[in-house]
Structure formats: C-alpha cells, structure tokens
Amino acid sequence: MKPISLSVDAMGGDAAPDVVIDGLDLFFATRSDAHVILHGNADLLTTSVQSRSWSDACTIVDQPDVVAMDAKPSSALRRAKGTSMWGMIETVKQGEAHAGVSAGNTGALMAMSMLALRKMPGVHRPGMTAVWPTLKGRSVVLDVGANLDADAEQLVEFAVMGESYARAVFGKEKPTVGLLNIGSEEEKGRDAIKLAAELLRNRDLGIDFRGFIEGNDISTGLVDVVVTDGFTGNVALKTAEGTARLVSTYVRAALSSSLLSKAGAALAASGLRELKSKLNPSSVNGGVLLGLNGVIVKSHGGTDAEGFSTAVKLAADLAQSSYMDEVAAGLNRVSRLGTSPETVE
C-alpha cells in the first residue's frame, strides 16, 4: 500500500485531546504506513506525543482555538480560521493529507467542510453515513444527521452516493439499496419518500433498488444501503446505540447475579467476548461526509480511544480506496439522466 497522510483535529470531541492521542496509539499499533498531522494546542500535544512510539510519524500544527461542541455552525464559520477543525480541513484541501478526521461539532464540521472543500458536481447537500452492524455483516445508513430534511432529489443523491460508497468500502459489486419508511407498502410514507422511490425505479441509474424497508429491517441486513433523511437517520442511530448498551448492561447483570451464573459466564467466556465486541458501538464509529471534494470522517464526539481509532482507520482505508471515483461516477449518472420530478415517466 502507498504511504498515506491523515489530518486530525486533536481538540475536537468531549474528551480531546486525550482520547485522540490514545486512539492514535491503537491505530498505529496496526498501521505503519501512515503519517498524521495533528492540529491543536502545540504545547499540550507535544508533551503528550513525544513519548509515543509513533512520534516520528507525526507533525504538530499549532492551532489552539477550539470549536465548542455547542457552537452554532454560523458562529463557528465566523471564527473558523485558527481553529484546529479548520486547520484539519485546510490540510485536506491543500492536498497535504489524503483524509481528515474530527470528533468535534457536527454542524460546524459540515459547514466548514462545505466552505473549504466545496460540493462535488451534482450534489445539492452532502450526506453523512454510518456503518451499521447487521446479521449479514455491515450496512451503510445515510443521512444520519447532516440534513434534518431531504426532498426526493436529495434522497436519490444519497442512494447513489451510498451505493457507490458501499461498493468501494465493502467491495460489493452490486450493493442493494432501500428507502427507510414506516411500512413496505407503496402507498405509505411522506410524498418525498414515495417520489424518490418512483425516481429510483424509473431512471436507469444502475442501482439495485429494493423498495421500502422498515426500521427493524436495518439490523437484519435486508439491504446494503439504507437511505433516509438526517433527522430520522440520527434518531435511528442513537436508538440503536442505546439499545446495544442496554443489552450489554442486562447481560452483565444477568451473568453476575449468582455464583451459578458466574460459573456459566466463565464457561462461556469466549462467546461473551465475541458478543461484547459485536455490541460495542466503538467498533463501527465514524461517519463519512459524502459528496465533498475530499475525504472527511466524523467521529462520535463522546467516543473512547477504540472508537476514535476506528474512525482514523476508516479514513485511512478510504484514502486508499476507489471511493471518490465511485461516488463521482454515480453522481455523473444522476446528472446525465436527470432526477427532477418532471423527468419521472
């Protein structure tokens, strides 16, 4: 593999920069082909990084200003320059890094990324993805928070970008795509969702569209790509994360309630470790901002070191994949064929 350079916002997130640095420890334990550019308080970062085994593979850029986690995007944009988040994005824009990662303010990250990197041709609004563990492996869900609402045309764009992303990341030649709805029947759902379904069925976009799916279908892996608006997607994502933690808590409580259950837990230790791994949200942390002229990965703001490492690894994998080419090709098909309501046959 070719060497890669990754730009990291070291000050973004609830527990930055400690979680960021510890996450990079885990990342470098499995990857030796990367160089990291850390943006943040140079004095603080230098003290933390100098004792790490990967210190020689790191460049620190002094950008001590931090975008507050509760800052409004408009306010963050006015104060963007000099912040660690802006510096991370600018490094990607200038080509000094192949991809960027931040656990900071989602709205600010999207706004700054759109301003600096611009949208790819044919994109109305970029979307944010989430990788979802399923009974069949993994699925892509988008949008999960970048756009609270989406019209039919934007949902079609999300479908095309998500399908292209799944092909590049999962290596599937023909990922299946579904629209998240309140039922699988054609007459159900909002007008935008029904029109998006009609567009996906009637235009020759090269997508294996499977129609509507329901919320309980996501985790079964019924389709490879689940398309929805950011409000619904974010609620679904947070609900799934909360459910995973609830199940983990119940399992721990049940297996420590008596001597007999503790003995059973000891006998089933290997299976329980596998279950814990599958239920751990940190193992699938990292949402990609699809539709930008550059690779930006958004880590959960409250993630732990393992989760941040997962997000950095995702950025590295995307930098070495055909992801950008796949998305550009998919958007070109949409532009060439047209997706406005007037073109529906």
Least confident of 56-60, 150-154, 305-309, 329-333: 329-333
Structure tokens at 185: 């029947």
Q: Over 80: is that where the pLDDT of 94 sits? A: yes
Residue 229: CB atoms within 10 Å: 25
The CATH number for 14's domain is: 3.40.718.10
Rounded to whole angstroms, the Cα distance separating 159 from 167 reads 12
Tell me: cis bond preceding 3? Omega within 30 of 0 counts. no
In a shared domain, residues 14 and 80? yes
In a shared domain, residues 20 and 109? yes
Residues 6+ apart with CB under 8 A from 322: 168
In a shared domain, residues 114 and 32? yes
pLDDT tens, 20-67?
999 999 999 998 889 999 999 999 999 999 999 999 999 999 999 999
- Asked, for residue 102, whether it belongs to a domain, the answer is yes
- Asked, for residue 314, whether it belongs to a domain, the answer is yes
Structure tokens at 23: 């996450």
In a shared domain, residues 67 and 147? no
Tell me: cis bond preceding 304? Omega within 30 of 0 counts. no
Please give the order of strands across the beta sheet that includes 176-180.
Answer: 58-62, 34-40, 4-9, 99-102, 296-298, 287-290, 127-134, 137-142, 225-227, 176-180, 208-213
In a shared domain, residues 75 and 149? no
Match 């991809």 to its residue by tokens: 99
Q: Note the pLDDT of residue 345.
A: 39
- Asked, for residue 273, whether it belongs to a domain, the answer is no
- Asked, for residue 270, whether it belongs to a domain, the answer is no
In a shared domain, residues 21 and 89? yes
**Percent above pLDDT 70 for the chain:** 93
- Asked, for residue 10, whether it belongs to a domain, the answer is yes
In a shared domain, residues 8 and 119? yes
In a shared domain, residues 295 and 231? no
pLDDT tens, 199-212?
999 887 889 999 99
Q: Over 90: is that where the pLDDT of 241 sits? A: no
Residues 6+ apart with CB under 8 A from 32: none
In a shared domain, residues 135 and 107? no
In a shared domain, residues 198 and 306? no
Structure tokens at 282: 């940190």
Structure tokens at 118: 């611009």
Do you know the residue count of the chain?
Answer: 345
Rounded to whole angstroms, the Cα distance separating 178 from 186 reads 13
Residue ranges making up the domain that contains 83? 4-124+282-327
- Asked, for residue 260, whether it belongs to a domain, the answer is no
- For the chain, the domain total comes to 2
CA distances for 298 relative to 104, 261, 310, 312, 313, angstroms: 8, 40, 11, 9, 12
In a shared domain, residues 120 and 181? no
Structure tokens at 126: 């970029």
In a shared domain, residues 120 and 134? no
Contact 248, 164 (CB under 8 A): no
